[in-house]
């Protein structure tokens, strides 16, 4: 299992390097595919894709099956979700004004509500809300990686997202193993400790400061860039742990171990990028607020 996880991690790092260093449309297409897969994983986990076409089954909370007796993985709600992901990324990449991005979100919500109304009672209201939340979770949050990469000096800033999430995760694990005594979320994640959480934040802030000293000090005129970077990564690390626990909570609520099996040894896209998704918008907004680009 260790070697499987290690090899998968090597492939992930290589893919991340290629996409993030290339940026532009290549990164956007990569994130588009990740969003499509993550949306499918969330829709399946939350039962969105299991229902539709039979009002009685939807009312009774029973999964619909096809003629072969297998659970359906697509219905009107998920089809709107997939189309909405394409629309949203087109808006983000082709339009500078955020109003167009908001328009894409509104279109997806209205489309899902139209499916709900026109096929009533095939879908429960809870399924519509879960479908839109899954769309937002998997699409909008991923897009902040692209938006951060598009900032001035974004080829450097985008790595703060992964320092705040993956470095935090590693430092939290090591600190928790060595010093963990007090449970952070005993019911949701019994193995996580307060000491580990603090170590994760401290480790991410330290690595962020080092990254700022090595790379960002040469790019931005701000004399406090090292401290700013440490602050950004520390704050991002706090949010990344919330993202990790939130994804775990969804799995526990629906009785699943992993979101998928796409990444050997890690699970699905949501299993590997759960903390990254929460960190990305925080890094984007803190960078725009705290860093002087000119």
Domain positions in the chain are: 25-143, 151-294
Distances (CA, A) of 268 to 73, 196, 279: 16, 24, 18
How many angstroms from the chain centroid is the CA of residue 133? 12
CB-based contact 256:43 (threshold 8 Å): no
Token pair 């279109």 is at which residue? 107
CB-based contact 161:275 (threshold 8 Å): no
What global pTM score does this model have? Answer: 0.90
Q: Of the candidates 72, 1, 88, 5, which has an alpha carbon nearest to the alpha carbon of residue 40?
A: 72
228: Cβ–Cβ under 8 A, 6 or more apart, which residues? 212, 222, 290, 291
The token pair at 56 is 């009685």
pLDDT in tens, the chain (294 residues): 657 777 877 888 899 899 999 999 999 999 999 999 999 999 999 988 764 444 444 444 454 444 434 456 678 999 999 999 999 999 999 887 889 999 999 999 999 999 999 999 888 899 999 999 999 999 999 999 999 999 999 999 999 999 999 999 999 999 999 998 999 998 888 889 999 999 999 999 999 999 999 999 989 988 999 999 999 999 999 999 999 999 999 999 988 988 988 887 778 999 999 999 999 999 999 999 999 887
């Amino acid at each position: 299992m260790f070697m499987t996880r290690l090899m998968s991690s090597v492939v992930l790092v290589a893919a991340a390097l290629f996409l993030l260093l290339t940026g532009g449309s290549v990164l956007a297409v990569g994130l588009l595919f990740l969003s499509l897969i993550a949306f499918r994983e969330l829709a399946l986990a939350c039962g969105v894709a299991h229902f539709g076409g039979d009002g009685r089954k939807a009312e009774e909370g029973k999964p619909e099956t096809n003629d072969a007796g297998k659970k359906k993985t697509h219905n009107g709600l998920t089809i709107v979700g997939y189309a909405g992901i394409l629309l949203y990324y087109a808006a983000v990449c082709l339009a500078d004004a955020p109003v167009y991005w908001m328009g894409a979100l509104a279109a997806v919500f209205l489309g899902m509500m139209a499916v709900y109304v026109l096929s009533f009672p095939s879908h429960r209201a809870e399924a519509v809300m879960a479908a839109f939340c899954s769309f937002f979770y998997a699409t909008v949050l991923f897009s902040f990686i692209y938006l951060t990469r598009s900032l001035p000096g974004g080829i450097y800033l985008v790595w703060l997202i992964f320092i705040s999430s993956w470095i935090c995760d590693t430092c939290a694990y090591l600190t928790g193993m060595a010093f963990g005594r007090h449970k952070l979320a005993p019911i949701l994640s019994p193995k996580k400790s307060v000491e580990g959480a603090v170590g994760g934040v401290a480790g991410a802030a330290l690595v962020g400061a080092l990254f700022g000293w090595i790379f960002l000090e040469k790019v931005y005129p701000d004399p406090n860039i090292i401290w700013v970077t440490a602050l950004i990564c520390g704050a991002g690390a706090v949010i990344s742990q919330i993202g990790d626990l939130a994804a775990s909570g969804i799995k526990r609520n629906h009785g699943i171990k992993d979101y998928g099996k796409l990444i050997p040894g890690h699970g699905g896209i949501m299993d590997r990028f759960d903390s990254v998704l929460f960190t990305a918008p925080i890094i984007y907004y803190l960078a725009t607020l705290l860093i002087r680009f000119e």
